[in-house]
Amino acid sequence: MRLKDLIFLFIPLLVTCQEAKDTEIWGPIPEEVYTISDSAPPTDAIILFDGSDLSKWEGSWSDKESEWDINDDGFLVNDGTDGRLIQTKENFGSVQLHVEWKTSEYTSFTNQKRSNSGVFLQGRYEIQILDSYKSPTYVNGQAGSVYKQYIPLVNASRKPGEWQSYDIIFDAPKFDSDGNKIKSGYFTVFHNGILIHNHVEILGTTENIGPPKNIAHGNGPIALQSHCCSQVSFRNIWVRELN
Ligand code: MG
């Protein structure tokens, strides 16, 4: 009998010697995490804003005094001034982030002036917030875009004044000690529960002018953008660290 024939004879025997338990993994056991409802934060989430205070946040500008306010309804309302971002005091790497937001019912502004905000991961990678309900703009800058890098797969925008949500899975990029990017970052994003980005590779910083930049950095804050001209409201912001 040739060697090849012997191998084919023994392969079925080897397979039948295996047992189901050979491919069972019993540890480490995943941590127990719960939610009381689909809209509630998981038990291991860091609550960044629940309507009560801004203790987890600071202004991104030099004096750090935030002009963002909590209104009488317990919603965080943006400053309305260009460039006045509010950011977490804590720095984050890879995260799962939940943000609920509402565009203004005041719809006289158009294009990028109509309830423009944004969620910045590590202070530099923006998922656009905008009123994109029947309000045209460049599509790589509409609501849900990875700003000027990826157009959302669909436009899941709700009407002005209706609450919306982002669930963002951010896989942070990595840089070596020489400042070279050794691993790209990735975004997976759900807008109102609908998948709009499926593990897209972040090309670098989400610049308004010019190409993305890839300057080495470590963990960074989660920031919310203030942008002229109509305001955006926020509620229920929580994050789970994935590092
Ligand atoms: Mg924006």
pLDDT of residue 79: 64
Tell me if the domain spanning 31-241 has CATH number 1.10.760.10: no
User: 147 C-alpha vs ligand 1 centroid, how far in Å?
Assistant: 8
pLDDT of residue 226: 85
User: 43 C-alpha vs ligand 1 centroid, how far in Å?
Assistant: 30
pLDDT of residue 60: 79
pLDDT of residue 2: 65
User: 120 C-alpha vs ligand 1 centroid, how far in Å?
Assistant: 9
pLDDT of residue 107: 84
pTM, two decimals, is 0.89
User: 32 C-alpha vs ligand 1 centroid, how far in Å?
Assistant: 36
Give the whole-angstrom CA distance, residue 4 versus residue 28: 41
User: 83 C-alpha vs ligand 1 centroid, how far in Å?
Assistant: 10
User: 28 C-alpha vs ligand 1 centroid, how far in Å?
Assistant: 41
User: 34 C-alpha vs ligand 1 centroid, how far in Å?
Assistant: 33
Mark the residues whose beta carbon lies below 5 A from ion ligand 1: 116, 118, 128, 225
pLDDT along the chain (243 residues), means of 10: 61 73 92 83 97 91 69 87 86 98 91 93 97 95 97 96 97 97 98 97 97 97 90 96 90
Question: Domain map of the chain by residue range?
Answer: 31-241
User: 15 C-alpha vs ligand 1 centroid, how far in Å?
Assistant: 57
pLDDT of residue 125: 98
Give the whole-angstrom CA distance, residue 128 versus residue 107: 18
User: 211 C-alpha vs ligand 1 centroid, how far in Å?
Assistant: 17
User: 166 C-alpha vs ligand 1 centroid, how far in Å?
Assistant: 14
User: 227 C-alpha vs ligand 1 centroid, how far in Å?
Assistant: 7
pLDDT of residue 215: 97
